[in-house]
Amino acid sequence: MININDLSYVYEDGRMAIEHIKLHFSCGEKVALVGPNGAGKTTLLLHLNGILCGQGSVRVGEEELDDRRVKLIRARVGLVFQSPDDQLFSATVFDDVAYGLIYQGVDKETIHERVARALEAVGMPGSQNRSPYRLSLGEKKRVALATVLCMQPEVLALDEPTAGLDPRGRRGIINLLAGLDQTLLIATHDLEMVREIFPRVVIMDAGRVVYDGPTSTALADTELLRAHGLLG
């Protein structure tokens, strides 16, 4: 489904954020990206739908991600940013969640249905008329997830979906993610969630992949975890 080949990215200030990343994700796979702050997880996710474009290649299905195909690929890969303020910009929750559907020309009735369903799925039913700016951080994160869920993309890339959520909200999101059929890639520090629903984990450190394999093996290896800042 996704092929990343020899991908490197240097920010404008010269910082090398990811280096020679090579990863393959199959259709329907659920993979967690973990690693210390600054490891490059967010930078990598931002490449999956063309927000950043580094050296090397990213392929989604048969399509190479380049300038011409960005629009097409954004319909296939839904990305939820680490900070919901980067995702929400409309006057109402409805407008934010409906935005992509309106852009796609989906009919009104279907839009209302899909927005309502997505908000319900993230535990924010009936919040259509609220202002995104006036939501709490956890509420904003849920609405940000709804904006992408309602597009029904083949791949969901989520940056720290459970960070800042209360225990019940976190549980709701974990159950929701566990039930999704889509290919799911998430960046997270929530190792308990990783243990529970992600059979494969990729550990990144200093811009490189240092482990890619079964979650059970990684989480049993305290030396590995300690070496990469995953144990307190």
Judged by the rule CB under 5 A, the positions of this chain that interact with Mg ion are 41-42, 82
132 binds, among ligand ATP, Mg ion, none (CB under 5 to 8 A by kind): none
Task: Indicate the helix (H) or strand (E) that contains 203.
Answer: strand 200-205
Residue 219 carries which side chain, given as an amino acid letter?
L
13 binds, among Mg ion, ligand ATP, none (CB under 5 to 8 A by kind): ligand ATP
Binding site residues, ligand ATP, CB under 6 A: 11, 13, 15, 17, 35, 37-43, 82, 187
Task: Indicate the helix (H) or strand (E) that contains 221.
Answer: none
Phi, psi at residue 213, to the nearest 5°? Answer: 175, -160
C-beta of 35 vs 172, nearer to ligand ATP: 35
C-beta of 42 vs 49, nearer to Mg ion: 42
State the DSSP code for 160.
S
C-beta of 98 vs 186, nearer to Mg ion: 186
C-beta of 43 vs 147, nearer to ligand ATP: 43
| Smallest distance, ligand ATP to C-beta of residue 157, A | 12
Give the C-alpha distances (Å, rounded to integers) separating 47 from 83, 142, 143, 205: 16, 22, 22, 17
| Smallest distance, ligand ATP to C-beta of residue 160, A | 7
C-beta of 34 vs 197, nearer to ligand ATP: 34
The whole-angstrom separation of Cα 207 and Cα 19 is 5
| Smallest distance, ligand ATP to C-beta of residue 12, A | 6
**Helix runs in the chain, H state only:** 41-45, 70-76, 93-104, 108-121, 137-149, 167-178, 191-197, 215-220, 222-227
Q: Hunting for tokens 């889509």 — which residue is that?
A: 182
The whole-angstrom separation of Cα 20 and Cα 6 is 4
| Smallest distance, Mg ion to C-beta of residue 41, A | 5
39 binds, among ligand ATP, Mg ion, none (CB under 5 to 8 A by kind): ligand ATP
| Smallest distance, Mg ion to C-beta of residue 37, A | 7
